[in-house]
Chain A
Amino acid sequence: MRTPGSWRRFEGYAFVGPFLLLYIFILVYPLILGIGISFHRADLFGARQWVGTENYARLLADPVFHQSVGNSLKLVLLIVPPLTIIALALALALNRPTKTAAVFRGIFFSSSVLSVTIVTLIWRFVLTPDAGLVAKAMQALGRDPIPFLSDPNLTIPALAITTIWWCIGLPMMLFLAGLQQIPGDIYEAASLDKASRWTTFRRITLPSIRRTLILVVMLQTAAQLQLFGQAQLLTAGGPSGTSRPIVLYIYEVAFGRWELGYAAAAAELLFLIVLAVTLIQYWAVTRREPER
């Protein structure tokens, strides 16, 4: 139906053009600009001086940056495995067509719609040692309150618990969607073979939701590497940086110290890490299923 050679060939641009212009202006251009800034000594007010790779060299030698990378990795390790296991367990338990299961699914998902500021507001007064819910429970048991938000050994676990509480809904829903794809007759065959529950889980359920499992782990890893609001609001990265993740570091360098070039370099390094995680996920999901 095309009329070749006429302006109609370019008609499509009228439809995709508006989005593409914004996309270039607000995503692509800043991306390139950011790479450029990371090679400059730059402040928030527009001063620029080319310094080559100096920012990157400084970062690689900066113990505070190392600490924040370590904190982010700790957070990923403390959040992703429990989150994945709890979400899978919940999905297995709640994958049934009853009203009760639906109510429970609703409860476990409800925290996901709250914003990070509400979540931290709630958890601050669950965890805070002078007035928190946990402190009051400990008091009732005759124990001392736990300084979750000020003890350097407890701040990261406190952030992890808060994050798991906040984020449990989505992976649970993803696992539920994955479980729904498994045809029921496979299970019937398994029960005819008198397979134990554990065998059924290991031999049928787990391989069937392999893709979902990879997806959840990688998605959460990428998300938690970028954890920001919880740390900024609950612990402010403290005490002495022991709970400061990478993004909070970037934020502080850019908007506290006004060293934009240095912050941009840190952001590019984080971008590379997240990109690597995304590529691994892409590779693992699109790879052919292993023969068994």
Chain B
Amino acid sequence: MSAGARRTGLSTPALIGVIFGAMIMVAPLIWTLLLSFKSNADLMRDSATAFSGPYTLENYGAILQGSQVFRWLLNSAIVSLGTTAGVLILCSLAGYGFARLEFPFRRTLFVFVLLGLAIPEQAVILPRHQLFAELHLHNSYPGLILPGLVAPFGVFFMTQYFRAIPRELDEAAMLDGASRFKQFWKVLLPLTIPAQATLGVFTFLGSWNDYWWPLISATRSDRFTLTVGLASSQMNYAQTSGLGFLMAQAVFASIPILIVYIIFQKQIVRAMAGAAVR
């Protein structure tokens, strides 16, 4: 805080503007929450009944019994955690390699990886879909996880982080007779935990919220992730589930990620800002 520290209070017009903006941010969320606690019958009559009682937990009860939301939640958790673990392992290994080891074509390969930052998903998603179809990877966890593992930004990020660690540490370990892998695993890796946290949270969020790839790769409803599952129930809501139930699903699906957000707020903000400044 340097620039803003001189004035701490907000001028009245600015404060009104900020409060007005915050209301726009919050109102849709509160509306969703209210709808989710109303019976579908009440909402069929008039959704404005959401502003007053009686409120009920029947929509949440319906989720607990027999809806597929739990299955989707589990799929999302497996895919996101798998992707996060894979990215952390691959990017740490590669980051250490690029930052510390000398090998033929090191610079060329590093630039080759950085070029990947300029490739948007649209340029590869259709041929990748073909490729995965030939390998029978659709509707499987590996099929959902593998694309997320290719994170050029993660490699760049970890390489920068390893470079910033003083070389004396490796040399001391080497004099003690530690092998390359031991130097990496025992000496350097523990020092990168803050970077792992940032990259991990960033990857988890991206994977959890990913829509395009799971939409085309997971076509069986028991393989849907939460995002795709919610999209499918949203598209045929008129025939099947009621408005209240749909909103309870939205609330239910937001809870895990909001918990992650609240716990890792600092890392998330830093990761998102860092990713953009690349």
Contact = CB atoms under 8 A, between A and B. Distances in A.
> Do these two chains really belong together in a complex?
yes
Interface of A: 1-2, 9-16, 18-20, 22-23, 26-31, 33-34, 37, 44, 46, 86, 89-90, 93-98, 104, 106-118, 120-126, 130-133, 136, 139, 165, 168-170, 173-174, 177, 179-180, 182-184, 187-188, 205, 215, 219, 222, 226, 228-229, 232-233, 247, 250-251, 254-255, 260, 263-264, 267-268, 270-271, 274-275, 278-279
Given A19-B155, A94-B18, A179-B3, A33 B130 contact: yes
B272 to A, nearest CB: 5
Nearest to A95: B4
B150 A113 contact: no
Contacts of A16: 93-94, 97-98, 103, 109
A121 B269 contact: no
SS class, residues of chain A in contact with chain B: helix
A131 B118 CA distance: 42
B63 interface: no
10 contacts: A15-B184, A44-B133, A108-B21, A112-B272, A121-B246, A126-B31, A174-B273, A177-B273, A233-B235, A278-B118
Contact of A18 (B93, B103, B127): B93
B265 interface: yes
B225 to A, nearest CB: 9
B247 to A, nearest CB: 7
Interface residues of B, number: 99
A226 B28 CA distance: 25
B220 interface: no
A117 B32 CA distance: 14
Nearest to A36: B127
A22 B93 CA distance: 13
Contacts of A97: 1, 4-5, 8
B131 A222 contact: no
Contact of B122 (A125, A267, A278): A267
B128 to A, nearest CB: 4
B254 interface: yes
B168 to A, nearest CB: 13
A26 B25 contact: no
Nearest to A132: B47
Given A16-B109, A37-B130, A250-B126, A95 B3 contact: yes
A33 B131 contact: yes
| Most chain B C-beta atoms within 10 Å of own C-beta, residue among A173, A222, A263 | A173
B146 interface: yes
B164 interface: no
A12 B5 contact: no
SS class, residues of chain B in contact with chain A: helix
A187 B1 CA distance: 13
A234 to B, nearest CB: 9
A180 to B, nearest CB: 7
Contacts of A270: 120, 122-123
B257 A115 contact: yes
B157 interface: no
Given A44-B133, A117-B253, 7 more contacts: A108-B25, A113-B257, A113-B260, A123-B28, A177-B273, A228-B212, A267-B122
Nearest to A136: B48
B199 interface: no
Given A18-B93, A107-B26, A116-B209, A170 B48 contact: no
Contacts of B234: 117, 120-121, 124, 233
A180 B3 contact: yes
Contacts of A278: 118
A235 B5 CA distance: 45
A31 B119 contact: yes
A123 B29 CA distance: 9
Given A115-B209, A121-B230, A184-B2, A110 B131 contact: no
A173 B273 contact: yes
Contacts of A247: 122, 212
A215 to B, nearest CB: 7
Contact of B97 (A15, A26, A275): A15
B227 interface: yes
Contact of B22 (A19, A104, A232): A104
B247 A93 contact: no
